[in-house]
Structure 1
Amino acid sequence: MRWIYGKQDFNTIARGQENCYLLTNGLGGFSSMTMTGSAARNDHAVLMACVQAPNHRYNVVHRLAESLRIGEKLFPLSTQELADGSREEGYRYLSAFVYEGIPLWKFQIAGVEVHKEIGMKHGENTVAIRYRIQNRKKCPVTLEVTPFFQFTKKGEDLSPEQKMARRENVIASNGLELKFTTNGTVVGIEETRELYYYSYDVCDGRRETGSAMADHRISLTVSAEKEAVLKIVYSLEDAKQDADVIFKEMKQYQKTLKEQAGFRSPVACELAKSADAFVSKRESTGGSTILAGYPFFEDWGRDTMIALPGICIATGQYDTAKEILRTFAVHEQKGLMPNLFPEGENEPLYNTVDAALLFVNCVYLYYEATKDQAFVEEMYPVMERILKGYREGTDYGIHMDEDGLILAGEGLWQVTWMDVRVGEILPTPRHGKPVEINAYWYNALCIMERFAALLDQKWEYPGLKEQVKQSFAEQFWMEEKHCLKDLVSDTEADRQIRCNQIWAVSMPFTMLDPEKEQEIVETVFETLYTPYGLRTLEMADGEFHPFYEGPMEERDMAYHQGTVWTFPLGAYYLAFLKVNGYTEEAKKIVKGQLEVLESALREGCIGQLPEIYDGENPTRSKGCFAQAWSVGELLRVYEVIEKG
């Protein structure tokens, strides 16, 4: 899709910083700035490099200060808020920002047009910047670019004693060496530091200032009534490559992603390209992984297993899906899957009850798409250990009760996706029998029974799924509310209406009769549905938080207490299609409701879906501006509509 923003969209600096772009390199590195080219977060960067995939990130090239010299007058092209209250206002000369897989800025000043593009090379910590200057004036003009660097770990700031050293086309600082090439003129300048004001970090309760330093300027003079191109490439690997080639490779790569996914809808095609941003290599395991979200999150087991069916399977990336599942299978322990992978000498963390059960579901969805029986056979022992671990008991209080249902959680360990802990406070305590975990458990039992028959293996648990089905219906159904309990724990939290029940309808194998599933879908629509996601708690509940804002403690208290999350929307639409028999009329209704996604893709991170919105009135994306499971789960809906 081609997104065009005009001067009406950045008539103030605040509006111009509402949206950003995201380019990634498949290593965990990225490039992301606002549509005015400013850094409005400390995580914004022209080059956020990753020195050990996918989480050891360094903010290397933080921003570019740009200006156009016409005669004796200097016109700013760059935009940036500074901590002393001053600011560069280049957005005043910005006539358009266009995003079609590559960000493009169009400036117009007194008869001179400057078009700027930024590109990133896949598989490298390399970024290319290209300026096309069309000078229609009868005098020469000069474009001047001053790059500001940090060379610090993502989220950290320059230390007072940090210095840069430059020799020819290599800049060194903080143990890193950045190489660059350009066809412009490079002039050394006295080391300069800037202190920035990050408006988006302020509204999220994060650090509001940060700094960067510069030691050179790059310029290109364009003769009267002539056109010229300034190219700059910065790289931790090899900067001796043509910027034009990098842009050409980017376009071809994105075209290949779109063709392989095979969607027809423009929104689905855009999401298929966006999905690739989350796939990364992981150096410590030698395989691929899925990053949970930008700019904050790493690769987590739970997020990966929720996102993978849409990110990889729905888009036809079957080899990547298999590689990711193999990576996790190697690290299965006591029937659990890692929630966080090891870094350095650290051991994996296994504090998730859903990842292992969803791993079984991912293998099933992969098999349904590919009929790769050999892979099922390879994964079968791992999946057997998962069922055994849950049935006999494993860590974090995870075990099967006498009624066949799964209990999970103990102490201060939150092991479902609603896992926030604020000191000694658990805002959403879900120790007991969570509704979605037992839906996943039943689904896994059904899958493994099928796989046992497929592989001619003895099924060890005859009758268990029927026991689970009966116990689930008896303990979770609330006739007076026409929906399911969120939890069975003998606490007041049990009867709260939350979005977790939707997975008891949307999974491949479910336990309730069609009438009850229909009632759940209608109750969720009535109490939790918004066009951009499902509320985590109904608004009528006394614990509902209408806004997600303020310091981290305040945000954490609201995180799962009404805040709208985008990813459960996928399960809602899948459930709606299911209970309505996947008819053309049902698909038409869902298509109509999905149309609003185009506006969601236009706001925040362009072409991406975010993590969350406010619970009361979801108008502005919050949290991670690009979230893997949000993109993945909506892609699964398009998969059913277009390919199912």
Structure 2
Amino acid sequence: MIDIGFGTQVCGELASAATREWLIPDGRGGYAMGTVSGLRTRRYHGLLVVAGDRPATRRVGLVSLDPAVTLPSGARVRLGAHEWASGEVDPRGFELLERFALVDGVPRWRWRIGDVVIEREIAMAYGRSCVAVVHRLVSGGPVRLDLAAVCTWRDAHGERRADGPTPRMEPAAGGAVVEGAFRLAGPDWTPEGQWWLGVHHREEAARGLNPDEDLWYAGRFSGALAAPGDTVSVLAWADDLAEEPAAATAVVAAARRRNRAVVAAAKPADAVAATLALAADAFVVRTATGPDVVAGYPWFGAWSRDTMISYEGLFLGTNRADEGRELLRSYAATLSQGMLANTADTGRVEYNTVDGTLWFLHAVSRHVTVTGDTDLGDELLPALHAVVEAHLAGTRYGIMADPADRLITQGGPPDVALTWMDARVYGVPVTPRTGKPVEVNALWVNGLAGLAELTELVGRDAGALWGLHTRAGAAFRKRFPAPAGWLHDVVDGPAPAYPLGGAAYHDDDLLRPNQLLAWSLPYAPLEPDEAALRRITAGLFTPLGPRSLAPDSPGFVGRHRGGPAERDGGYHQGTVWPWLIGPLVDAHRRAGLPTDGLLVGLEGHLREFGLGSVSETADGLAPHAATGCPFQAWSVAELLRVRRAG
């Protein structure tokens, strides 16, 4: 894997260290997450964040474990870091950090206090909601180490206040059980029980959300570090509270072994591919119903569109086809009226996407093509044919194959956004794209051909599918080219001056990246067009991927900043989306255009934001600062896939 490590110039400067984040997943949708500095900048940061019955229902438990070292002189040095509502940062333990590194995916901090050097490592027991925190004396000593256990128990999206109920604590061997929900265990436990008021999260303030909360100082662990090699460790876990996990040092060692095995199984071609293989592993989780995909950390759960876009990179690109097979079968079971369930993050199953189902057709086709698993193709074939039949007949939200040209049109209620550009502000879609979106129809043409091939592979006649594919493909080639030299983003949409369903229609030729799918997919409807791709790349490309709208377009937003409404308003109006690097590189390769320089920025980004991973979004204007989730599934998956394909 690539070397991800920083010295004092990064670790000791908050502007650098507090914007670089690490993540350790537990394989169930929970995680430990924080910054290089140790400062919690998000409400989502914590050492034990527990997933519920689905990945999106997470709760924060153990928030931090603040070290304080008592030196032989009697001096006491605090190594933690907190920011307060007053604006003060205290303590400032990051100023004593001489090194932070990810070692086989395990974060390691190294503090120096004169001749005393202490290292900390954090790991999770894979498949359990359990975190291990190990401190080791490297040199100097003897010293005494105190570890303040700072806790809460709340929804990951919210805050808890001191004016509410006091957290319930019950004694347990080696520590305590907090709120009946999670257990702490370590050496020489001393309960305390005190509110810390006004802890500040600067990233939440920047996102226009409530930035402050109160935390519960539950107590402290203490231990002697007499000689180099001595350790003081703490465990925290939320499942099966009566069953103690393995020793903390064993948990760390097991995590490192597993991470190395994950990378080796992916058979990476180089260090970047190895890093991406481990990054991909964070998103593949196992729930009560089988494998699933977390769309992004720290706030997303499972979304079918993201899962299917990510499928080839996460599963086929890392040699996890068996898990992928199980996932595809599970998702097929959610089909209803020819539509794949989009998400249950909201607490109910929602069917509100026009493209997620078409990405599912693509994922199944790629699975069978890459693995030769015709048995799965045969098993899912009736469901896939039913998808096509439902689209021909018409399904929810006005989604149907137009009888006139067999292109997919969609036009549900005015408050619904059905494509991946689905942001809404005060209930109104920012980019509704009613009509016939370009990428939806590229996926439709692609899906028809892929399904026809699957049908023939199992010895059945696919003449009707090929005929439909031919008709839709011809209509695509006729309708989507725009006079500007690229493709319309939407055709047959309602004119802005008319209500939905009015008599006047409009073709939208704003320069957006959705059209890349018309050249990039395996059964793309268009032949390579070097001139068009050069125009698109010139208008949209940035080092972190394509913008969602060209800078000279009306409505362009160059900075993805501000409160929820402001951020959502710019989400697809110029913001960079790294996942689109996949379609861009594929289209360039098909056209014979060079791709050597297209991935350099994203490979460098692996050390810049979500360490070892790729962010959800970035600013459309230089220097293209990363935004959104620091760890995003489809961003990682598409970078991994196109590097592997190259």
Is 1:422 matched up with 2:396?
Answer: no
Is 1:473 matched up with 2:477?
Answer: yes
User: Quick one: structure 1 residues 324 and 111, their matched pair in 2 at CA, closer, same or farther if it must change by over 3 Å?
Assistant: same
Is 1:508 matched up with 2:522?
Answer: yes
Q: Which residue of 2 aligns with 1:178?
A: 182
2:80 counterpart (78, 81, 84): 78
CA distance in structure 2 between the partners assigned to 1:559 and 1:167 by the alignment: 48
Shift of 1:136: 2.0
2:511 counterpart (497, 507, 515): 497
Q: Which residue of 2 aligns with 1:337?
A: 340
* SS of residue paired to 1:104: strand
Q: 2:576 corresponds to which letter in structure 1?
A: V
Q: Which residue of 2 aligns with 1:233?
A: 235
Is 1:440 matched up with 2:452?
Answer: no
Q: Which residue of 2 aligns with 1:539?
A: 551
* SS of residue paired to 1:436: helix
C-alpha contact 2:144 2:222 (8 A) present in aligned 1: yes
C-alpha contact 1:104 1:116 (8 A) present in aligned 2: yes
Shift of 1:179: 2.4
Is 1:555 matched up with 2:567?
Answer: yes
Match runs of 1:121-136 below 5 Å: 121-136=125-140
Is 1:218 matched up with 2:221?
Answer: yes
Deviations 1:417-474 (A, max 9, x none): 0011112432112000000000000011111111221112233345222211221111
Q: 2:264 corresponds to which letter in structure 1?
A: E
Q: Which residue of 2 aligns with 1:600?
A: 605
CA distance in structure 2 between the partners assigned to 1:529 and 1:342 by the alignment: 32
CA distance in structure 1 between the partners assigned to 2:228 and 2:321 by the alignment: 49
Q: Which residue of 2 aligns with 1:141?
A: 143
CA distance in structure 2 between the partners assigned to 1:592 and 1:562 by the alignment: 21
CA distance in structure 2 between the partners assigned to 1:38 and 1:197 by the alignment: 10
User: Quick one: structure 1 residues 59 and 240, their matched pair in 2 at CA, closer, same or farther if it must change by over 3 Å?
Assistant: same
Q: 1:13 corresponds to which letter in structure 2?
A: L
CA distance in structure 1 between the partners assigned to 2:228 and 2:349 by the alignment: 59
CA distance in structure 2 between the partners assigned to 1:121 and 1:90 by the alignment: 27
Shift of 1:172: 3.7
Q: Which residue of 2 aligns with 1:318?
A: 321
Shift of 1:618: 4.4
Match runs of 1:315-464 below 5 Å: 315-341=318-344, 347-401=348-402, 402-411=404-413, 412-459=415-462, 460-464=464-468
CA distance in structure 2 between the partners assigned to 1:331 and 1:135 by the alignment: 57
Q: 2:590 corresponds to which letter in structure 1?
A: K
Q: Which residue of 2 aligns with 1:50?
A: 51
User: Quick one: structure 1 residues 628 and 359, their matched pair in 2 at CA, closer, same or farther if it must change by over 3 Å?
Assistant: same
2:541 counterpart (529, 533, 538): 529
* SS of residue paired to 1:185: coil
C-alpha contact 2:49 2:62 (8 A) present in aligned 1: yes
CA distance in structure 1 between the partners assigned to 2:300 and 2:389 by the alignment: 31
Shift of 1:173: 4.0
Shift of 1:215: 2.1
CA distance in structure 1 between the partners assigned to 2:318 and 2:519 by the alignment: 23
Q: Which residue of 1 aligns with 2:261?
A: 256
Shift of 1:181: 2.9
Q: Which residue of 2 aligns with 1:583?
A: none
CA distance in structure 2 between the partners assigned to 1:270 and 1:591 by the alignment: 19
Deviations 1:80-111 (A, max 9, x none): 11123332100111111111300000000021
| Count of aligned pairs between the two proteins | 622
Q: 1:371 corresponds to which letter in structure 2?
A: G
C-alpha contact 1:148 1:214 (8 A) present in aligned 2: yes
C-alpha contact 2:546 2:580 (8 A) present in aligned 1: yes
2:621 counterpart (616, 621, 643): 616
User: Quick one: structure 1 residues 143 and 462, their matched pair in 2 at CA, closer, same or farther if it must change by over 3 Å?
Assistant: closer
C-alpha contact 1:261 1:315 (8 A) present in aligned 2: yes
Shift of 1:226: 5.0
Deviations 1:336-381 (A, max 9, x none): 00101388xx652110111111111111111111111111000101
C-alpha contact 2:512 2:550 (8 A) present in aligned 1: yes
User: Quick one: structure 1 residues 168 and 461, their matched pair in 2 at CA, closer, same or farther if it must change by over 3 Å?
Assistant: closer
User: Quick one: structure 1 residues 51 and 349, their matched pair in 2 at CA, closer, same or farther if it must change by over 3 Å?
Assistant: closer
Q: 1:562 corresponds to which letter in structure 2?
A: G
User: Quick one: structure 1 residues 124 and 424, their matched pair in 2 at CA, closer, same or farther if it must change by over 3 Å?
Assistant: closer
Deviations 1:293-326 (A, max 9, x none): 0111110111111011111111111011111111
Deviations 1:602-641 (A, max 9, x none): 1111001000001112432111111000001111101211
User: Quick one: structure 1 residues 222 and 424, their matched pair in 2 at CA, closer, same or farther if it must change by over 3 Å?
Assistant: closer
TM-score (norm. length: structure 2): 0.93
Q: 2:107 corresponds to which letter in structure 1?
A: P
C-alpha contact 2:12 2:37 (8 A) present in aligned 1: no
C-alpha contact 1:133 1:229 (8 A) present in aligned 2: yes
Deviations 1:33-62 (A, max 9, x none): 100112110000111012324232110011
C-alpha contact 1:102 1:118 (8 A) present in aligned 2: yes
Q: 1:574 corresponds to which letter in structure 2?
A: D
Q: 1:529 corresponds to which letter in structure 2?
A: F
Greater alpha carbon shift after TM alignment, 367-376 vs 239-248: 239-248
C-alpha contact 1:38 1:63 (8 A) present in aligned 2: no
CA distance in structure 2 between the partners assigned to 1:65 and 1:342 by the alignment: 33
Q: Which residue of 1 aligns with 2:591?
A: 579
Match runs of 1:25-40 below 5 Å: 25-40=26-41
1:271 counterpart (250, 272, 276): 276
Shift of 1:133: 1.5
* SS of residue paired to 2:615: coil
C-alpha contact 1:81 1:196 (8 A) present in aligned 2: yes
CA distance in structure 2 between the partners assigned to 1:548 and 1:110 by the alignment: 43
Q: 1:504 corresponds to which letter in structure 2?
A: A
Deviations 1:140-185 (A, max 9, x none): 42111101011112122224213231313353444x3322332x32
Q: Which residue of 2 aligns with 1:637?
A: 642
Unpaired segments ≥5 residues, structure 2: 496-505
C-alpha contact 1:150 1:157 (8 A) present in aligned 2: no
Greater alpha carbon shift after TM alignment, 373-382 vs 232-241: 232-241
C-alpha contact 1:442 1:509 (8 A) present in aligned 2: yes
User: Quick one: structure 1 residues 190 and 640, their matched pair in 2 at CA, closer, same or farther if it must change by over 3 Å?
Assistant: closer
Shift of 1:570: 1.2
CA distance in structure 2 between the partners assigned to 1:172 and 1:117 by the alignment: 23
Q: 1:358 corresponds to which letter in structure 2?
A: W
CA distance in structure 1 between the partners assigned to 2:6 and 2:139 by the alignment: 24
Shift of 1:216: 1.4
Q: 1:129 corresponds to which letter in structure 2?
A: V
Greater alpha carbon shift after TM alignment, 115-124 vs 405-414: 405-414
C-alpha contact 1:377 1:455 (8 A) present in aligned 2: yes
Is 1:88 matched up with 2:100?
Answer: no
Deviations 1:249-306 (A, max 9, x none): 11221122112211212111100110010111232xx111111101111101111110
Q: 1:447 corresponds to which letter in structure 2?
A: G
User: Quick one: structure 1 residues 187 and 396, their matched pair in 2 at CA, closer, same or farther if it must change by over 3 Å?
Assistant: same
CA distance in structure 2 between the partners assigned to 1:442 and 1:384 by the alignment: 14
Deviations 1:360-403 (A, max 9, x none): 11111111111111110001011001111111100011001111
CA distance in structure 2 between the partners assigned to 1:107 and 1:424 by the alignment: 49
2:123 counterpart (119, 124, 136): 119
Shift of 1:75: 0.9
